[in-house]
Chains A and B, each alone.
Chain A
């Protein structure tokens, strides 16, 4: 029993928590940006795959690591443009279109990977982002080892949380973005373009999602594997509701989820013989559903979420 608590005192556990949370931070930020503007983006699972694959391939072909990050973001924005085009000016069902984008992004990525490496059994590796050497704080006990295990890509995730929080809460652009998800008529009355704002938000949000995928291939691992996304995108959709569409709470939710996942990995080695490993693997999903049920009543959905807007109607 003490061993179960002991895990919480290991720097290793907290380092893993942050590492597991990083792709989710990008994913939740992306999802909440799209949804704040009124568009549900179920393309997230596929956009994760496309970001992971394109970023990794770019680096493998010779671009620097940050070049790979940019390529991934551009890929995400491209799929975001497709989703936005279908759902905003054309007003198609956001659920079905999102599933279509996931299907397309996943199959393009897998197909492209197979074309690039037809007969390769083990995927070729790249040199991923190195762990940071944090000055001063890196020398502190306990905190130091946690920070020293992170990469610059993780730092980018935390920066994005801050930037998005400030932009949404404090800038005229953020006000317009929030309004377009709550009351598009009012935005139109202000003389702003609902279509442009929503499409921009979905593209930027999808670029963030793709960064979550790229983190996996460029920082956490050093290669692209089939099935490596494994539902992370869908978890982000759940975490968005949990986060009540706020960047700060998104960070909190992602860290909580990361901690749960890191904990289940470690507790398995202690209790593995008694409890089937699948029980532990289920915990994050059960936790997500429980969190959804608990916050759903209070959830302050963007009021125009999933409602297409056509100029001049109503």
Chain B
């Protein structure tokens, strides 16, 4: 039989080898359904790679798509570290987007150096407030946060639709309901003219670095990690568990809220009910691929974004459904989960002990 023996230390080469191996496994697994459809498998993957990073334009698209994923990936990473199972980043993203439009679409007139920070803080506060509700429910009533955060996603999305058809509706817009555009003063500038890439990416990377420093170098970061590893022991040791969980809620919800602000103020310019194609859920995948490390979230988000952008372009070229992207991402998540076993345990084959 097989036994897992915990490793004392994980060698760096193994971590890297497992990451690459998991990626290859995901591609191999995806090749099966692709081959079943009769598509040229190799060509399809080459086209995907070209579509994701074949030239400067493709790369810029991938990085643009990665921006909200970095934020939601960080949101999941910091929460999961503390074993706060926040599955509600999608709703928190929309809460941030709503705040962005509420503050940035004409309510306040101010120069950019005032309005941009105001919008970002407002969005983070909205996302944080939304997650503090289930954290409070968990602390006060013992209500499971997995279910509550999940269900809140639906409530927030319906609320967004209500606002877009009601008070926030842009009367000038034709067709689908959308909000009024955010003011120029509230817009995150483009990084390169002519490309969609915007300053949200820089903010996201800075957030990843700050979160890394916070978690690994500060007292509160230590407390969050301690609570995540063993809440009972942390409480016994006199750590302020309740405050630590509230802080995790603020950080996680706030980061997800920033994803909404960055999409509205940096990319779309206004809010629609289809702002996010599931960035909140994809953030969980990103965080897992990154092994819950804030710095690892950046490459993981770029990988996931590349898969989506590449699959889009490949599906246009050879007429294969772009749901293939979701397949690659799902396989990547599962292979990384299994691969993670190899970094945490040594697998030992032993003879079945006599009973």
Whether both chains belong to one complex is answered with yes
Contacting pair B150 A237 (CB below 8 A): yes
Number of A-B contacts (CB under 8 A): 133
- Cβ of B26 to closest chain A Cβ, rounded Å: 11
In the complex where A92-B341, A95-B85, A99-B285 touch, is A111 in contact with B158 (Cβ < 8 A)?
A: no
Contacting pair B321 A110 (CB below 8 A): yes
Chain A's closest residue to B161 (CB) is A278
A281 located at the interface, meaning its Cβ lies under 8 Å from any Cβ of chain B in the complex: yes
A99, A241, A294, A310: the one contacting B144 at CB < 8 Å is A241
Task: Name B's interface SS.
Answer: helix
Contacting pair A95 B146 (CB below 8 A): yes
Contacting pair A282 B281 (CB below 8 A): no
Contacting pair B330 A104 (CB below 8 A): yes
**Which of the segments B42-50, B261-269, B331-339 contacts the partner chain?**
B331-339
Contacting pair B146 A97 (CB below 8 A): no
In angstroms, Cα B151 to Cα A100, docked, is: 18
Chain B's closest residue to A118 (CB) is B319
Contacting pair B151 A103 (CB below 8 A): no
- Cβ of A35 to closest chain B Cβ, rounded Å: 11
Interface size of B in residues (CB-CB distance below 8 Å): 45
A residues near B28, Cβ cutoff 8 Å: none
Task: Name A's interface SS.
Answer: helix
A residues near B33, Cβ cutoff 8 Å: 108, 111-112
B147, B324, B334, B338: the one contacting A104 at CB < 8 Å is B334
B176 located at the interface, meaning its Cβ lies under 8 Å from any Cβ of chain A in the complex: no
In the complex where A86-B337, A103-B285 touch, is A292 in contact with B144 (Cβ < 8 A)?
A: yes
Contact bitstring A235-252, B, C-beta under 8 A = 1, else 0 = 101100100000000000
B87 located at the interface, meaning its Cβ lies under 8 Å from any Cβ of chain A in the complex: yes
In angstroms, Cα B330 to Cα A241, docked, is: 27
B residues near A112, Cβ cutoff 8 Å: 33
**Which of the segments B135-143, B186-194, B251-259 contacts the partner chain?**
B135-143
A285 located at the interface, meaning its Cβ lies under 8 Å from any Cβ of chain B in the complex: yes
Contacting pair B334 A100 (CB below 8 A): yes
Contacting pair B327 A108 (CB below 8 A): yes
A156 located at the interface, meaning its Cβ lies under 8 Å from any Cβ of chain B in the complex: no
List A95-117 residues whose CB lies under 8 Å from chain B. 95-97, 99-100, 103-104, 106-108, 110-112, 114-115
Interface size of A in residues (CB-CB distance below 8 Å): 46
Contact bitstring B257-287, A, C-beta under 8 A = 1, else 0 = 0000000000000000000000001001100
Contacting pair A288 B162 (CB below 8 A): no
In the complex where A92-B337, A107-B326, A310-B4 touch, is A238 in contact with B321 (Cβ < 8 A)?
A: no
In angstroms, Cα B329 to Cα A297, docked, is: 37
- Cβ of A160 to closest chain B Cβ, rounded Å: 23
A–B Cβ pairs within 8 angstroms, 6 of them: A103-B329, A108-B327, A234-B147, A286-B155, A294-B141, A299-B142
Q: State the 9 A-B residue pairs at the shortest beta-carbon distance, nearest first.
A: A107-B326, A114-B321, A104-B330, A278-B162, A103-B330, A296-B143, A111-B323, A278-B158, A110-B323
Please give the residue numbers on chain B whose beta carbons come within 8 Å of chain A beta carbons, in ascending order: 4, 33, 36-37, 80, 85, 87, 137, 141-144, 146-148, 150-152, 154-155, 158-159, 161-162, 165-166, 281, 284-285, 288, 319, 321, 323-324, 326-327, 329-331, 333-334, 337-338, 340-341
Please give the residue numbers on chain A whose beta carbons come within 8 Å of chain B beta carbons, in ascending order: 40, 42, 82, 86, 90-93, 95-97, 99-100, 103-104, 106-108, 110-112, 114-115, 118, 231, 234-235, 237-238, 241, 276, 278-279, 281-282, 285-286, 288-289, 292-294, 296-297, 299, 310
